[in-house]
Chain A
Amino acid sequence: MTIQNKHYFSAFKLLCIGTALAAVIGLIVIFTGMLLYPSLDDLISCLLSEELRFAITLSIVTALISTFLCAIVAIPSAYSMTRFDFFGKEAANILLNLPLSLPPLVAGIALLIFFSPVLSPVGGLLAAMGINVVYTTTAIVIAQFFVNTPYMIRSLRSSFAMVNPRYEHTARTLGCSEWNTFVQVTLPMAKSGLIAGIVITWSKAMGEFGAVLMFAGAIAMKTETLPMALFINMTTGDIEKSVAAAIILLIISAVVLVAVEHWGKETGVEYV
C-alpha cells in the first residue's frame, strides 16, 4: 500500500490555504471599497485642490530630505555594525531594535520635549537664537529622520552583511585605499539592498503619522503632509479629501512594493 502524497485529501492543507486566500480577498475587498467610495469627478477635483497639492508637495519634499539625512547617518553606522568591533556595539544593537516595537507617538513626544523652548534647555537655547522647530516643517523632517534612521540602519546592515569582506581584503591588496574600496567595491556590491532600503525609508517617511502629529502638529496648509491631510479632513467631515489622500498613499506603497520586489530579486541573483 503506497500513499500518494500529491493526491490524498488533507483537511489541514485545505484549511491553511483557505485562510490565506480569505485574508487576501478581505484585503482586496476592503481597499476596493475605499477606492470606489468617491465618484471619479470628486476624486479628481480633490486631487487637484490646493490643499492636497500642498500636502503632496510637502510630503515628497520632507520625505526626500529626511531620507537623505537618514542615509548619511545609516550608511556608515550600518557598515560599522557589520564590519567593526567597538565598545558598546552590543548595546547599540539592542537600542536600534527598540523603535521596531515602540509606537512613533512616543518618539514624537520625546522630540517635542527635547526641542520645546519652555520644557528643555536645548529648546530654550535654540529659542534664544531665534530658532523654533516645534510645529514647523523642520519638525516634520526631524520626526521622520528620528523614527526612520534605526530602520534604515537595520536594513542596510543586512545589505552590507551580504558582501563577503574578502572582496574588500582583495581590493586592499590590489592597492585600493579603505575609502576607495568602500566606494568602488562595497557600495556597488550592496547597491540593490541599499536602493531597496532607501526606497522603503522614503515611503515610510511619506506615511509617518504619530511622531509628526506630536512634534509638528496637524496644522492645515502648514504642517499638512498626506497623512495629516487624511486626518484633518476626516475630523472636519470631508471624507472625499481624506480618501483622495489615502489613495495617493496606497499608490505610493504599491509602487514601492513592486520596486523593492524587483531590486530584492536582483540582489539574490546577481552576486551568487
Chain B
Amino acid sequence: MSEMTDTAETDKTNKPVETKEITKAVETENADRDISGNCLTIENFSITLGDFKAENLNLKIGAGEYCIIIGPTGAGKTILLESIAGIHRLKSGKIYLHGRDITDIPPEHRGIGIVYQDYMLFPHMTIGDNIAFGLKHRGVSREERERQTAEIAGKLGIGHLLGRYPQTLSGGEKQRAAIARAIILKPKVLLLDEPLSALDNTTRENLRRELKKLHSEMNTTIIHITHHFEDIYSLADRVVVMREGSIIQCGSVEEIVRKPDTRFIADFTGMENIYAGICTPLSNGTCEIDINGLKLYAVSERRGDVNVGIRPEELIISKEKLASSARNSVCGEVIKITDNGIFSKIAVAEEKSGVIFTAALTKQGIESMNVSTGDKVYLTFKATAVHVF
C-alpha cells in the first residue's frame, strides 16, 4: 500500500514518463494492479457526437492517481469520461488500460466504474439490490453478495438503508449508494462526473472527505469532473483543464493554481486579480509590468502585452507600510469588504491608477486589524506572486 502511495507521489512531482515496455513487464507480473506507471493512456482521441467534436486529444493518467478534470460547459468532459467507460465509439485514436488496448472492448468488460451527478440508482430496485447489481452480473453467490453489500454500505454509512428504494433517500445518501455500487466491483478506474454538485454544502464537504479516504484506502485511479474549486485543492493529484474538446492545460494542483495558462483557468481557480498590462524585461529575469500606469514587478522574460494574475491570499494587507523584501508594495483605499462566511475579501483601489486589488483575510484578521471601508492600507506581495501569462 505504501509503495503505491509513493508511486503516486513520484508521479506528482516528476511528470510520469512511462514506456509501454515497463507497463507490459509489470502487467505480466501483476495483471490487474499495475503499480508503477500509467493506468490509462489516451492516444489521439477523436470523436464526433452531434455538434460536439474532439480531435487528437492525448492524456496519460498514472496508476492510483486522483485526476480532476475542469472546464466550461460543453468542453467535452463528460463525453471524454463516457468514452473511457466505453459508452461512445471513437472516430479514431486508442485507449489503453494498463497497457492493454481497450478501444473496442464493450463497457461491461472494461472494469471501469462510473458515478454520475444524478446518481442513476435504478428506481425499481432497493438500495441493496442496486449496490449488488454488478456482483449479480458477475455470478457472485447470493450470500457473498449480501456480505459484500453490507460491508461496503457500512463503510459508507448507509448500512441501514439497504431495504429502501432510492426515491426515499436524500441526495447525499443516494450518492453514497451510487459510489458503493461502483466501488464494490473494485474497478481499475473510477469515473466521477460531478458527483458532489447536486449536494448541499455540508453534505458535499462530508462526501468529499469520504472520497479522499476511499481513494487512499482503495488506491483506485480516479478521474473526477468538477465545477468546484475546493475539490481540486482537497482531492487532486493532477488537474486537467479542457475547453472545446481539447486539453488546454494539465499539471499538478500547484502548477494549475499558480501558473494558469489562460485567463479561463485563472478565473476558474479563483485567481481574482487579473489585469492586462505591458511587460518590459529588466535584468536578472525580472520584469516590470505597467498596468494602467501602476508598475508591478514580476519574474518573467515576456515582452509586450501580457495578462497578470495575483492570488488574493498572496497579498499581505497592512495599515502601515511594511518593511519587507517583497518587491511590490501598493497603497490604496478600502472600497468594499465582503464576507463569505469562512473568510472575507477586501477590495482595495490603488490611489493613483485606480487598479482594484482583492485580498483575502480571515474574519479574525479583519477584526484584529480593525479595517473598514474608506481606510488607507498597504498591499505587499513578492515578485514571484505576480503570475504573467
Contacts and interface: CB of A to CB of B under 8 A. Distances in A.
Interface residues on B, range: 20 to 34
Interface in B112-133: 112-114, 116, 118, 120, 122-124, 133
A177 B87 contact: no
B181 interface: yes
B185 A175 contact: yes
Nearest to B82: A169
B82 A174 contact: no
A169 B123 contact: no
Interface in A234-272: 270-272
A83 to B, nearest CB: 12
Interface string A173-189: 11111101000010011
B192 to A, nearest CB: 12
B56 to A, nearest CB: 23
Contacts of A169: 82, 85, 87, 107, 114, 120
A174 B123 contact: no
**A-side binding surface: helix, strand, loop or mixed?**
helix
Interface in B98-156: 106-110, 112-114, 116, 118, 120, 122-124, 133-134, 137-138
A167 interface: yes
A164 B120 contact: yes
Contacts, number: 68
B362 interface: no
Interface residues of A, number: 21
A172 interface: yes
Contacts of B85: 169, 172-173
Contact of A175 (B108, B116, B120, B123): B108
Contacts of B86: 172-173
Nearest to A185: B122
Contact of A189 (B123, B167, B182): B123
Given A166-B118, A167-B120, A174 B134 contact: yes
Contacts of B116: 166, 170
Interface in A210-225: none
Which of B85, B120, B187 has most chain A Cβ within 10 Å? B120
Contact of A271 (B82, B123, B182): B123
A244 B9 CA distance: 84
Contacts of B167: 270, 272
Contact of A173 (B112, B123, B124): B112
Contact of A174 (B87, B118, B185): B185
A127 interface: no
A177 B167 CA distance: 26
**B-side binding surface: helix, strand, loop or mixed?**
mixed
A171 interface: yes
Contacts of A175: 108-109, 134, 137-138, 185
Contacts of B120: 164, 166-167, 169-170
B122 A173 contact: no
A138 B249 CA distance: 67
Which of A169, A173, A175 has most chain B Cβ within 10 Å? A173
A46 to B, nearest CB: 45
Nearest to A269: B167
Given A169-B85, A169-B87, A272-B167, A174 B133 contact: yes
B137 A174 contact: yes
Which of B110, B112, B124, B187 has most chain A Cβ within 10 Å? B124
B108 A177 contact: yes
A176 B112 contact: no
A102 to B, nearest CB: 32
Contacts of B185: 174-175
A172 B118 CA distance: 17
B369 to A, nearest CB: 50
A172 B123 contact: no
A172 B122 contact: no
B217 to A, nearest CB: 21
Contacts of B138: 175
B108 A172 contact: yes
A164 B118 contact: yes
Interface in A47-68: none
A177 B181 CA distance: 17
A167 B122 contact: yes
B230 to A, nearest CB: 25
B124 A172 contact: no
Given A166-B116, A167-B122, A176-B137, 4 more contacts: A164-B118, A169-B107, A170-B116, A188-B122
25 contacts: A164-B118, A164-B120, A166-B118, A169-B107, A169-B114, A170-B116, A172-B106, A172-B107, A172-B108, A173-B86, A173-B108, A173-B187, A174-B113, A174-B137, A174-B181, A175-B137, A175-B185, A176-B108, A176-B133, A176-B134, A176-B137, A185-B122, A189-B122, A191-B124, A271-B123
Q: Which 4 A-B pairs have the closest CB atoms?
A: A174-B134, A172-B107, A175-B137, A170-B120
